[in-house]
Amino acid sequence: MTTVRSLIFTLWLYLSMPLFAIGLSPALLMPHGVAIAVIKLWARFVLFGLRWIAGVKVEVRGLEHRPTGPALIAAKHQGMLDVIAPFAFLDDACFVMKKELMPLPFFGWFAWKTKMIAVDRAAHAKALKDMVRQTRARLAEGRQILIFPEGTRTTPGEPADYKPGVAAIYRDVDAPCWPVATNSGVHWPAHGFKRYPGTVVFEFLPPIPAGLKRAAFMAELESRIETASTALLPPKT
């Protein structure tokens, strides 16, 4: 049954992209708020199908810690859902993403329109400077910057490898950083098409105050995210 439901949901997901891209493409010519509203609508459409077709519910915890207005958010990354769900519960999400994703139909079009922060990871030091520059600009527009400190998806329970990009942004903007934990990979794994029924949790944690030294910030960020994410995993049998 899980296989059948997963297949139906996969069709729901991938058919939704061209449907929204074509049907709502006029939004690409409209103001920023309209384009973001289209992405939010698409995200809710995907989450609706995820719950009622695949049996996967999305729950957001720690709402008392959720930032409003401009903010730097650092989140655990376990799968594709982490890139979709935040649009449903953040006011104006702006992702730090791989530049290679920009040409993709629908996703890339709206990412360009809504000024997502595209990073050429092969450019190394230049990419880091460009990411910080773009982040400052987006924060000035009141956006919520969402970065995945690990840089790529990790399997639930695997050791983490946090990259220095988030520390560069944190130091440059001199502002708090809001960690987010999740167990999304348990129910929407990074690989394969199966979606496993249950509850995906995205949990906002108390913000890390501005001004910490790089090493202290990275240690605190990793400790908070990994501890909270591990606590969301099912008990080992």
CA dist list (Å): 15 to 10, 28, 112: 8, 19, 21
| DSSP for 136-159, written as a single string | HHHHHTT-EEEE-TTSS---TTSP
Task: Say if residues 116 and 107 touch (Cβ distance below 8 Å).
Answer: no
> Which of 169, 173, 172, 177 has the alpha carbon at shortest distance from 225?
177
pLDDT given at position 237: 61
Task: Say if residues 204 and 195 touch (Cβ distance below 8 Å).
Answer: no
User: Reduced to 3 states, what is the DSSP secondary structure of residue 221?
Assistant: helix
DSSP state of 101: G
Task: Say if residues 187 and 234 touch (Cβ distance below 8 Å).
Answer: no
How far, in whole angstroms, is CA 85 from its chain's centroid? 7
pLDDT given at position 189: 95
Structural domain including 142 reads 57-232
Does 24 reside within a domain?
A: no
Does 30 reside within a domain?
A: no
- Count CB-CB contacts under 10 A for residue 235: 4
Q: Look at the chain and report how many structural domains it folds into.
A: 1
Does 17 reside within a domain?
A: no
- Count CB-CB contacts under 10 A for residue 51: 16
Does 23 reside within a domain?
A: no
pLDDT tens by residue, the chain, 237 residues: 899 999 999 999 999 988 887 777 887 888 989 999 989 999 999 999 999 999 999 999 999 999 989 999 999 999 999 999 999 999 999 999 887 777 776 778 888 889 999 887 666 678 788 889 999 999 999 999 999 999 889 999 899 899 989 999 999 999 999 999 999 999 999 999 999 999 999 999 999 999 999 999 999 999 999 999 999 999 876
DSSP state of 215: H
> Which of 197, 199, 202, 193 has the alpha carbon at shortest distance from 12?
193
Task: Say if residues 180 and 73 touch (Cβ distance below 8 Å).
Answer: yes
Does 13 reside within a domain?
A: no
- Count CB-CB contacts under 10 A for residue 68: 10
pLDDT given at position 21: 78
Return the CATH number at 89: 3.40.1130.10
**Scanning the structure block, which residue is given the tokens 């987010």?**
180
- DSSP H helices in 74-233: 81-84, 86-89, 107-113, 125-140, 165-173, 184-187, 214-231
Does 28 reside within a domain?
A: no
User: What is the C-alpha separation between 201 and 181, in angstroms, rounded?
Assistant: 8
From first CA to last CA, the distance across the chain in angstroms is 23
Does 171 reside within a domain?
A: yes
| Angle value at C-alpha 65, between 212 and 39, nearest 5 degrees | 105
Does 52 reside within a domain?
A: no
